[in-house]
Amino acid sequence: MAEESTEMENAPKKRPEEIEPLVKEILEAYRPNLQADGGDMEFISIDDELNVHLRLTGACGSCPMATMTLKMGVEQYLKDACPDVNSVVQENSMQMY
């Protein structure tokens, strides 16, 4: 068991461009869950640490539960389907002046 853990830790880290197509496919599969409540999401990027950057839009963009939706919903679903993803980061939907 300990050997398996060490092998996983020593496995080469994937690059963002390697996992981006799979991440986008997974997000498309999750999107109807947000759209059912009048929301949506926009893929922004994947950084070098394999954090997926998203912008929640529609009803989700202004919902007080948006962070929970992002972490307990989108992030969990994405990490279950693509274990290479480190986390999901919410980008601001509006710029502050």
41-76 pLDDT, tens digit each: 999 999 999 999 999 999 988 888 888 889 999 999
- The model's pTM: 0.81
Is the model more confident about 73 or about 7? 73
89 burial type by CB count under 10 A (0-12 exposed, 13-18 middle, 19+ buried): middle
pLDDT of 13 higher than 90: no
Contacts of 33 (CB under 8 A, 6+ apart): 73
